[in-house]
Amino acid sequence: MSTQVSEEVREALHEGRPVVALESTIIAHGLPRPRNLAVALELEELVRAGGAVPATVAVVDGTARVGLDRAALTRIAEDPAVRKLGHRDLAPALATGATGATTVSATAWLADAAGIRVFATGGLGGVHRGWTETQDESADLRLLARVGITVVCAGVKSILDVPATLQRLETLGVTVVGYGTEHFPGFYLSSSGEPVDWTLRTPEEVAAVIRAQDRLGGPRAALVVGNPVPVAEQLDPALHDRVLAGGLAAAQEKGISGQGVTPFLLEYLTVHTEGASLEANLAAVRGNVRLAASIAGAYGAGADGVAAAPGADGR
């Protein structure tokens, strides 16, 4: 694979210093211009403030890049022709010289291949509502069953079928833990209402789990760390439920299906919450980036972790 790891990231990995991977779809397709570039730079600075090296991932002119310089980051943010790339799109993008922003699946794949152990994002993709009729499921899930990376996220996008997504992750052997919570986060909301089996409360505990995965060996799979957005910064739950119901009805009325559903609903939420959903999303991403930097630092330090606390069901 034609992959270029930046000198800063390469040196940090060689020296055993903490590195945090960041996806680029939020830059190219998740935020309005010019705020998207400002947020991209802010997230990288949050990683640095946490003592780690940021590695934003994208494909530029047919080269997969792990760690972007300012020029590449600006291009991903400002060029309207930038494509959205899942891991299935990487080979065609590299072969045709395309430029694209990487989703969770593509970022996790490239970061894992580069030797990065921690990745921060907003929310994962998952099983879509009405799966029994559409069989629509994000490629994120299967890919996370194949890479040994820790993904810090605010759960899965709340427009999805969260219980079905958690069941799918269990089937695929992907470990899911809550960070400081006994319930899986709800993306815009602090809680989805779904319990988690394991709760971890410090970066050192998460790092201890990563090291335990290393010792166990066997089939590789991701560790998903569900980090809830603070209650004070979440989207109002009543507003969320009301607007989401309206968005689902509007999507059905317009005949929107398949890959078109998620961007339609996310845009619908942004418009009909007057931007409040976007602010909750950004609050979640910032928190995830800070936590990911702390986890990467704790893992690199090699300190002994404390045993994980059982979740709400006592297992």
More confident residue, 85 or 309: 85
Mean pLDDT of 95-115: 96
d(CA 116, CA 141): 19
Kindly report which listed range (34-43, 191-200, 236-245, 300-309) carries the lowest average pLDDT score: 300-309
pLDDT surpasses 50 at 21? yes
pTM: 0.92
pLDDT tens for 117-135 read 999 999 998 786 655 555 5
pLDDT surpasses 80 at 312? no
d(CA 218, CA 215): 9
Strand ranges inside the chain, DSSP E: 3-5, 19-22, 53-60, 63-66, 83-85, 100-102, 118-120, 150-153, 175-179, 198-200, 223-226, 309-310
Residue 136: predicted pLDDT: 61
Residue 213: predicted pLDDT: 95
Residue 228: predicted pLDDT: 98
Residue 104: predicted pLDDT: 94
Quick one: which of 218, 207, 176 has its CA closest to 311? Answer: 176
Residue 98: predicted pLDDT: 97
SS3 202: coil
pLDDT surpasses 90 at 260? no
Residue 158: predicted pLDDT: 82
Same domain, 163 and 111: no
Q: Give the active site residue among 137, 157, 194, 204.
A: 157
Q: Count other Cβ atoms within 10 Å, centred on residue 154.
A: 30
pLDDT band at 219 (very low <50, low <70, confident <90, very high): confident
Could you tell me if 137 and 32 are in contact, meaning their C-beta atoms sit under 8 angstroms apart?
A: no
Same domain, 218 and 264: yes
Same domain, 110 and 192: no
Q: Is 23 considered catalytic here?
A: yes
d(CA 176, CA 197): 8
Same domain, 252 and 287: yes
- CA 133-136-138 angle, to 5 degrees, is 160
Last residue in a domain, options 116, 140, 158: 116
- Report H helices in 115-202: 131-134, 139-144, 162-171
Q: Is 84 considered catalytic here?
A: no
Mean pLDDT of 218-245: 95
pLDDT surpasses 80 at 304? no
Same domain, 33 and 67: yes
Same domain, 136 and 284: yes
Quick one: which of 172, 141, 171 has its CA closest to 156? Answer: 141
Pairing of strands 53-60, 3-5: unpaired
Number of domains within the chain: 2
Considering just the CA atoms, what is the radius of gyration of the chain in Å? 18
- Report H helices in 225-275: 237-254, 261-272
Residue 1: predicted pLDDT: 54
Could you tell me if 244 and 252 are in contact, meaning their C-beta atoms sit under 8 angstroms apart?
A: no
pLDDT band at 149 (very low <50, low <70, confident <90, very high): very high
Same domain, 79 and 24: yes
Percent of the chain beyond pLDDT 70?
91
Quick one: which of 138, 134, 113 has its CA closest to 123? Answer: 138
Same domain, 84 and 153: no
Same domain, 71 and 165: no
CATH number of domain containing 244: 3.40.1790.10
Mean pLDDT of 231-236: 96
Same domain, 149 and 225: yes
Residue 129: predicted pLDDT: 64
Give the domain extent around 253.
Answer: 124-315
In this structure, which long-range contacts are made by residues 268-276, counting pairs with CB atoms below 8 Å and at least 24 apart in sequence?
268/243, 269/159, 269/188, 269/240, 269/243, 269/244, 272/243, 272/246, 272/247, 273/235, 273/239, 273/240, 273/243, 276/235, 276/236, 276/239
pLDDT tens for 50-103 read 999 999 999 999 999 999 999 999 999 999 999 999 999 999 999 999 999 999
Amino acid at 85: L
Same domain, 79 and 216: no
pLDDT band at 218 (very low <50, low <70, confident <90, very high): confident
Last residue in a domain, options 116, 133, 155: 116
Q: Give the active site residue among 7, 8, 11, 23.
A: 23
Mean pLDDT of 278-302: 96
d(CA 300, CA 201): 18
Same domain, 238 and 272: yes
Distances (CA, A) of 225 to 29, 191, 201, 315: 24, 14, 11, 17
Percent of the chain beyond pLDDT 90?
80
Last residue in a domain, options 91, 116, 141: 116
